[in-house]
Amino acid sequence: TDTGRATGNSVAQLLSGAVCNSAGVLSAEFDIAESVLIRMVYRITSSINLQLVPNFHFYRADGSCAFVTSGGNGQTVSPGVYRAECHIPGNFLNDGLYSVGLALSSFEPSLEVHFNEQGALIFNIRDPLDGVLTRAGYRGPVPGAVRPLFEWTVESLS
């Protein structure tokens, strides 16, 4: 989604953001087992000696923060247009509505937020109830922001 307005400072501007499925197709709703790709495109406008870190802030419909994730390993970059993507695996997010804030920060010598567009993207995780591995047969509401499918071992000791 194009922001339609200048969002940023003299170092960087957010150009667009998108929520896509694993094939890269724009989508606003995902089955709980599907992976979700969050993408932002931004422009670095000046040569500066800062390590820039793209970060995404995920919020639940009730306003609680589900999690924050960052990438790019804090690289010093040249002026130009960049795309940052984060892949959220299936069976990680619980069902419900999420909004995503798109941000670019630097932390040395001190914290500077170059842009932070909260609520830029919105998507829904749908739980079809049947055939969902994270339910293990349970049909009621599952609390929490995340519902990861971890590897378990259950063995008899006697």
pLDDT tens digits, 86-123:
999 999 999 999 999 999 998 888 888 999 999 999 99
Residue 78 pLDDT greater than 60, yes or no: yes
* Spatial CB neighbours of 105, under 8 Å, sequence gap ≥ 6: 52, 53, 55, 70, 111, 112, 113, 114, 116
Q: What does DSSP assign to residue 94?
A: P
- The whole-angstrom separation of Cα 157 and Cα 13 is 59
Instruction: Give me the pLDDT at residue 43, please.
Output: 94
Which amino acid is located at 131 in the chain? G
Instruction: Give me the pLDDT at residue 5, please.
Output: 61
Instruction: Give me the pLDDT at residue 139, please.
Output: 82
What pLDDT band is residue 1 in, cutting at 50, 70 and 90?
low
pLDDT tens digits, 36-67:
999 999 999 988 888 889 999 999 999 999 99
Residue 13 pLDDT greater than 80, yes or no: yes
Instruction: Give me the pLDDT at residue 11, please.
Output: 86
Residue 4 pLDDT greater than 70, yes or no: no
pTM given for the model: 0.86
- The whole-angstrom separation of Cα 73 and Cα 82 is 14
Residue 69 pLDDT greater than 60, yes or no: yes
- The whole-angstrom separation of Cα 126 and Cα 29 is 7
